[in-house]
Structure 1
Amino acid sequence: MSVRRWLAGAGVVALAVPTAACGDAAPDAATPDATGTPAASATSVAPSPTESSPSPTTANPPILSGDRQVTIVRIDSFESGLSLTDERLVEVVGDKGRQLFVPTPVDGQTFLIRSYRGAGGGPGTGEPVCWQVQNPGNSKPLVVQGAECRESEPRQLFTIAPNPENAEAFLISNNSAFLRNSQNNGLIMEELGDAAPTDSFRFNDNGPAPSSL
């Protein structure tokens, strides 16, 4: 046998071996089987956890955002609005005292009620004072007076809540004592026990709160 014919024969054998090896190889996992159905992947991907949506919260209306100043009128009053005079919180028909108020949120429905001068209280709005419950003593009812604003003072933290019987009005309270009108003592703060509040108040928007806030 010549050397040339042996090399040619060896080349045929060498080509035949890889061909047989390819025929014996296992099918790729991602290759469709004979029925045309893709083979299952060996690695499963865990689904991404779904973030829970935050619980909806009930926001205060814009008039109670702390960015608006308001006048406050008792629902059953006759042409009179609330005014913080040098003595106490009263109802007036004229422009006496501080008649512009800025309910400033502290937590939820708890507010500081900042008081500004009205038209008859001198030029400009002036520095605010805050509502504060005061016990005058001598068995007299609690009243609201003006004091330096302090968020840490519990007597200045008022709850302003919608009146469930009147969508346009609010109930004002401090530590379970509600603001109401008394025939003999005017505006007072009184604990009502199980009785329903007798007075509610309308807040009238008077534009942006003073910049000094």
Structure 2
Amino acid sequence: MVTMKWVTGAAMLACTSALVACQGGADKAAGTPTPSGAVTGAPTPTAAAPATSSAAATDPLLSGKREVTITRVQGSGQPLEISGRLEEGGDTGGRTLFVPTPIGGDRYVIRAFGVKDDHPANDDPSCWQVNGLDIEPELTIGAVVCDQDDPIQRFTIIAKGDGTYAIGSETRFLQHLPGNGLVLKELDNAKLNTTFRFTDKGPADREPIN
């Protein structure tokens, strides 16, 4: 009988200790105020990623609802066009009207269209894509069937505050190199020397081919 009482008492003591430990852990998880009023042990809140780019919410040219031409500020003044490769004023009959379309997290797909001339093929979009056949450190951009889930079709567009934009992909920026044209390249310690101006060309209201 004495042995049974001792075992029962030890079990109750263990349960009480466990409850105290659990309560202490709960206090730490919830955070306890310090004399200065700060809360210690509280979990750090994590900001949720925005559903759409903050720039897209305020800049109509990045809203996905406007067609634009894109011109290199430091260039010839000829708009960019894309067929096999993105280039500057090549007059190759490529597409020159673009719709930067936000897909969340400050990323965009850039849809490309032909001129509005009632030709149905010009209303069916293609999209910019990093050329996967290129070799680092200089990558080109080509036009392919749109797939916003493909990481190499996602671009960053950064407003520079003077009506111009920098265009990039991951850690690279679209730059003009003499002899190479427009390429995506790491800046390293160099200064960004290529920016672009977007010119509004009307609503993005094309009806693609079904």
TM-score clears 0.5: yes
Q: Which residue of 1 aligns with 2:60?
A: 62
Q: In 1, are the aligned partners of 2:81 and 2:90 still within 8 Å (CA)?
A: no
Q: Determine the C-alpha separation between the residues in 2 that align with 1:194 and 1:178.
A: 13
- The Cα of 1:135 is off from its aligned counterpart by 3.9
Which amino acid in 2 is paired with 1:177? Answer: R
1:113-160 superposed Cα distances (whole Å, 9 cap, x missing partner): 00001369x825321010001144466720000111111111111000
Q: Determine the C-alpha separation between the residues in 2 that align with 1:94 and 1:153.
A: 29
Is 1:186 the equivalent of 2:181? yes
Which amino acid in 2 is paired with 1:206? Answer: K
Is 1:203 the equivalent of 2:201? no
Change over 3 Å in CA distance of 1:137–1:174 after alignment to 2: closer
Is 1:152 the equivalent of 2:149? yes
Is 1:80 the equivalent of 2:75? no
TM-score (norm 1): 0.65
1:3-62 superposed Cα distances (whole Å, 9 cap, x missing partner): xxxxxxxxxxxxxxxxxxxxxxxxxxxxxxxxxxxxxxxxxxxxxxxxxxxxxx663401
**Residue-pair matches, total:** 153
Change over 3 Å in CA distance of 1:137–1:210 after alignment to 2: same
1:117 is matched with which residue: 107, 114, 117?
A: 114
Q: Which residue of 1 aligns with 2:138?
A: 141
Q: Which residue of 2 aligns with 1:13?
A: none
Give the SS at the match of 2:94: coil
Q: Determine the C-alpha separation between the residues in 1 that align with 2:189 and 2:136.
A: 22
Root-mean-square deviation (Å):
2.3
1:67-91 superposed Cα distances (whole Å, 9 cap, x missing partner): 0000000001113110002x20011
Change over 3 Å in CA distance of 1:111–1:138 after alignment to 2: closer
Q: In 1, are the aligned partners of 2:106 and 2:156 still within 8 Å (CA)?
A: yes
Q: In 1, are the aligned partners of 2:123 and 2:206 still within 8 Å (CA)?
A: no
TM-score (norm 2): 0.66
Q: Which has the larger displacement, 69-78 or 140-149?
A: 140-149
Give the SS at the match of 2:152: helix
- The Cα of 1:107 is off from its aligned counterpart by 1.1
Percent identity over paired residues: 35
Give the SS at the match of 1:155: helix
Which sections of structure 2, spanning at least 5 residues, go unmatched? 1-53
Give the SS at the match of 1:63: helix
Q: Which residue of 1 aligns with 2:160?
A: 163
Q: Determine the C-alpha separation between the residues in 2 that align with 1:132 and 1:157.
A: 8
- The Cα of 1:176 is off from its aligned counterpart by 0.8
Q: Determine the C-alpha separation between the residues in 2 that align with 1:102 and 1:66.
A: 6
Q: Determine the C-alpha separation between the residues in 2 that align with 1:160 and 1:176.
A: 12
Which sections of structure 1, spanning at least 5 residues, go unmatched? 1-56
Q: Determine the C-alpha separation between the residues in 2 that align with 1:212 and 1:107.
A: 24
Q: In 1, are the aligned partners of 2:109 and 2:153 still within 8 Å (CA)?
A: yes
